[in-house]
Amino acid sequence: MAYNWNWGVFLQPTATGDDSTYLDWMFHGLQMTIGLSLSAWLIALLLGAVVGVLRTVPNRWLSGLATAYVEVFRNIPLLVQLFLWYFVMPELLPEDLGNAFKQSNPIVQQFLSSMVCLALFTSARVAEQVRSGINSLPPGQKNAGLALGFTLPQTYRHVMLPMAVRLIVPPLTSEFLNIFKNSAVCSTIGLLELAAQGRQLVDYTAQPYESFIAVTIAYLLLNVVVMSGMRWVEVHVRVPGYIGGK
């Protein structure tokens, strides 16, 4: 195989003449991936917690609504959801808002669509984890909270959620990892995140091996950082005398 390895390619100025190197492109892509994934993750956690709790409340309308939400966002392919948010949603918005969106900076359009898409898709999965966490608590815990005079919301707040959240830290870690990996899908609408920068580098330099090896390593490092962070969280919320605790 005649392939000319050239790791020095990252330090070369780019062919666009914008005074940056290909390594700078990679960093911009990494920043975009991190910014997009973290903002989507925060929204997914909040929304997922609310929807997950609603799935367990003794009100048929609320839990039915939450179930519908989860099933919709969990069962449509991520790529299709992204196209819906990016291409279809602006047309469905009230005209002024839709036009304002379409006339805004294309990067903002891509970022917002991607963020909403990843956030809602992931929130449905977080909601399922939250629900299973709540359902795995001993049923007597809820009764104990109520019997002390707590209202149902207080019982969730002080009794059930603190334990449920601790139980679901490990599965939440894999959702957190997933959101970084899923963010690569957003390159399909033109968002220049890490994977897209990698492909762009191939287009400009014809060095696919170096480019995608670098992208791979960047994703791996990112996930190692996330895993260590979540591991730290897991250890610090352990309850003494309880599963996994001291």
Enumerate residues 6+ apart whose C-beta is below 8 A from 207.
Answer: 6, 9, 201
Looking only at residues 119 through 138 of this chain, which bind another protein when binding is defined by CB under 8 A?
138
Q: Cα–chain-centroid distance for residue 147?
A: 38
Residue type, 226: V
Cα separations in angstroms, 37 against 50, 183, 189, 220: 20, 7, 16, 15
Contact 189, 86 (CB under 8 A): yes
Compute the least distance from the CB of residue 172 to another protein, in Å.
17
162 lines the binding site for another protein (CB under 8 A)? yes
Q: What number of chain residues touch another protein (CB under 8 A)?
A: 23
Supply the DSSP symbol for 94: -
Contact 63, 144 (CB under 8 A): no
242 lines the binding site for another protein (CB under 8 A)? yes
List the one residue from 26, 51, 166, 186 that touches another protein (CB under 8 A).
Answer: 166
140 lines the binding site for another protein (CB under 8 A)? yes
Q: Name the residue among 84, 83, 76, 73 with its Cα closest to residue 48.
A: 73
Q: Which is nearer to another protein, 78 or 237 (CB)?
A: 237
Beta bridge partners of 21: 13
Q: Residue 10 in 3-state DSSP?
A: helix
Stretch that binds another protein, among 88-96, 184-192, 218-226, 237-245 (CB under 8 A): 237-245
Stretch that binds another protein, among 37-45, 66-74, 161-169, 194-202 (CB under 8 A): 161-169
Q: Which is nearer to another protein, 17 or 58 (CB)?
A: 58
Phi, psi of 108 (to 5 degrees): -65, -45
Stretch that binds another protein, among 40-48, 89-97, 118-126, 157-165 (CB under 8 A): 157-165
Compute the least distance from the CB of residue 187 to another protein, in Å.
42
Compute the least distance from the CB of residue 159 to another protein, in Å.
6
Instruction: Write out the residues near another protein by the rule CB under 8 A.
Output: 138, 140-141, 143-151, 154, 158-159, 162-163, 166, 239-242, 245
